[in-house]
Amino acid sequence: MSSKRTPLWARLCAVFGCVLMVVAGGALVAQQVLVSRYAGAVETQNLFGDPAVAGTPQRVSEIKGPLNILLVGIDPRTDEQTPLSDSIIVAHIPEDLSQAYLYSIPRDLVVDIPPFEKTGFRGGRSKINAAMGYGSSVGNGKHDVVQGFDLLAKTVGKLTGIQKFDAGAIINFNGFKAIVEAMGGVTMTIDQNVKSEHLQPNGKPRPRLSRCADNSCAHPYYGPQAEYKKGTYHLKAWQALDYVRQRYGLPRGDYDRQRHQQQFIKAMASQALSKNVITNPAKLDKVLKAAGKALIFDGNGHGVVDWAFALKNLRSDDMTLIKLPGSSIIVNGDYRGEELAPSAKDFFASVRQDQVRSFIFRNPEYINTNG
């Protein structure tokens, strides 16, 4: 099977300020040993708080489109720290399963977060990345990221009108870094000059100002910065993840970061399907084991192997990256968050009606042409 025609396994993930990714389904399906090892490594949880799914396995129908998958990337934290959704991406797959449309929800988007009985949260208006935190408390100062995902999913559902997601995944930053390292880094095109807020040129963390120990500073770091220049480069894992994490100093802030994250998704998808990975059993096995450790997955009654078969005909070229237009909310000179353009409501309606193709034909500006 040539790498050009290798089917795509749309195991879509998200990672710390980014999302990722796709791995090769056809190759997995053909190598049942690898499939079993991967499926055994993935942690499966009830992310949507559905009691029908939480109990014993039940008989579920075949996976059919249209599908909506919620992907959330988090920075690893202890169970005593409040989790935040650093990256939120929805993948919409039409009824014929021929495409995957991916769009990012800005983490600073100001939204209505619904009440959540499990934590006593009464609901309110806040940045969407706080929803996971509001839903995560389990008492005694402890937090559960799985429970927090439930409220985040309800919040994204309220925003988009999607009543129920067909699958979901949480991807942690350290686990995802291991995936990129297992693949030997990633080749991608950098579309604008970017300086790192967080890392030095050697990849080590930049030191923090002592007066910013209480996290009161907007820019708490000092010293030399890693830089990423326009052009096409093969980035090491730490470079790629640092690049797609940045938003400070970019002309459009979080919207530029979203674009970089989506470009990263596509670059990783293409590389996962390259002959250097899928025809190299040792490397493929290493990538799959790293991916398994990075994920918490809920397939609504279907396992990862079921999803691999259902989406086995998708390839990286079948992924369309969507950019949601919006702008910053400034009140008396203070930044309060982000808001979407009014046309975003029409886009969300097209997702619910499975008419995204028609929508982007009429609104080509929604396509991320830099992907």
Lowest-pLDDT choice from 113-117, 212-216, 238-242, 339-343: 212-216
Lowest-pLDDT choice from 31-35, 195-199, 223-227: 31-35
Is 90 exceeded by the pLDDT of residue 191?
A: yes
Token reading at 105? 């929800």
Is 90 exceeded by the pLDDT of residue 352?
A: yes
Better-scored residue on pLDDT, 278 or 156? 156
* DSSP conformation class of 353: T
Angstrom distance (rounded) from CA 42 to CA 364: 37
Q: Quick one: pLDDT at residue 50?
A: 75
Sorting pLDDT into bands at 50, 70 and 90, what band is 41?
Answer: low
Per-state percent for the chain, helix, strand, coil, to nearest 5: 35, 25, 40
Q: Quick one: pLDDT at residue 2?
A: 33
Q: Quick one: pLDDT at residue 20?
A: 34
Q: Quick one: pLDDT at residue 33?
A: 52
Better-scored residue on pLDDT, 6 or 290? 290
Q: Quick one: pLDDT at residue 1?
A: 31
Better-scored residue on pLDDT, 143 or 281? 143
Q: Which helix (H) or strand (E) holds 254?
A: helix 254-272
pTM above 0.75, yes or no: yes
Q: Quick one: pLDDT at residue 273?
A: 63
The mean pLDDT of 20-42, rounded to a whole number, is 50
Sorting pLDDT into bands at 50, 70 and 90, what band is 262?
Answer: confident
Is 90 exceeded by the pLDDT of residue 54?
A: no
Q: Which residues of 178-213 are buried (b: 16+ CB within 10 A; e: fewer)?
A: bbbbbbbbbebebeeebebbebeeeeeebeeeeeee
Residue 47 CA, distance from chain mean position: 15
Is 80 exceeded by the pLDDT of residue 27?
A: no
Sorting pLDDT into bands at 50, 70 and 90, what band is 347?
Answer: very high
Is 80 exceeded by the pLDDT of residue 202?
A: yes
Q: Which residues of 249-275 are buried (b: 16+ CB within 10 A; e: fewer)?
A: ebeebbbbbbbbbbbbbbbbbbbbbbe
Q: Quick one: pLDDT at residue 265?
A: 73
Is 70 exceeded by the pLDDT of residue 301?
A: yes
Kind of pairing, strands 43-44 and 295-298? parallel
Write down the mean pLDDT value for the chain.
81
Q: Quick one: pLDDT at residue 88?
A: 87
Sorting pLDDT into bands at 50, 70 and 90, what band is 278?
Answer: low
